[in-house]
Every structure is written in C-alpha cells, then in structure tokens.
Amino acid sequence: MSLLGSLGDRWLDLRNRLLASPRFQDLATRFPLTRPISRKRSKDLFDLLAGFTYSQVLYAVVRLNLLESLRQGPLESADIARRIGWPADRTARLLKAAAAIDLLEVTSTGAYGLGIHGAALLGNPWIGRFVEHHHPTILASTGI
C-alpha cells in the first residue's frame, strides 16, 4: 500500500469517526463556520430519507392498483379503504402521503383523485411494472 493511500485511509477513518459523533455534530451545527456545511449535510440526509419514503408510497399505490381505481374519477377515502381492504386510518395516511408527492389530489369535496404524477403514471404502465419488479422487502410486514 502506498503512503498516500494509507494516509487517505486514515483521514477517511478520522473523518467518519468525527461525523458519527453526536458531540461533533452538535458542535458543527452551532459553530458559525461549519454551520452551513452541517445544514447542507443534514438536508442531503433528509433527501435520502424522503426518497426512501417516496418509493414506499409509490410502491403501495402501484401494488394496490389505486391509480387504476381512480381512473374513472375521485373516490372518498372510506370507499378506497373498502376497495383495498385496509383500515380507514391506515388508508388515510397512505392517501395523504400519495397526495403530498402528487400521485393523488384532494378535490374540493375531500375525495381523492389522480394527481399529475398519478395520471402520467397511468399513461406509462411500464413504470408501474418497474416499481413492482423492484419490490422493497421492507414493505413485506405491511401485508401488501
């Protein structure tokens, strides 16, 4: 191993130990010179988490065939819950999450219809097949 490679490995180890330290994270967040870096890193980490959540919502919507159910028009949350066989509270959470990422939209009466992304997804059925093909095993516990 070269000297530079060894130094680089040691630097990465030190960096990662610091970044994993709650004490260092707190200091970096409060210190004016490192605060912008800390905020950027926090935002990047949040984006990773949000992407994971979006993919779970997308998978559930596709797997439950919600978009096809709404092709003819909006439905009330209770009607959707009956169609998919889920409890009302769980269905409401899924519908709100799907509306937040524009797969669904809430009408003026509170019903749920296709959102801009949901309508586009219906017009591109290969996307739904791709989503189902890449089944996230984390959802196995939901019974989907």
In three-state secondary structure terms, 113 is strand
pLDDT digits (tens, 9 = 90+) for 87-113: 999 999 999 999 999 999 999 999 999
Cα–Cα distance, 139 to 144 (Å, whole number): 7
* Residue 115 predicted with pLDDT over 80: yes
Per-residue pLDDT tens over the stretch 57-79: 999 999 999 999 999 999 999 99
| pLDDT score recorded for residue 22 | 94
CATH class of 42-142: mainly alpha
Report how far residue 122's alpha carbon sits from residue 18's, in angstroms, rounded to the nearest whole number: 47
Q: Where are the domains of the chain?
A: 1-30, 42-142
Nearest-angstrom CA–CA distance, 115 and 74: 10
Partners of 112 in the β-ladder: 75, 106
pTM for the model stands at: 0.75
In three-state secondary structure terms, 1 is: coil
- Average pLDDT (16-40) is 94
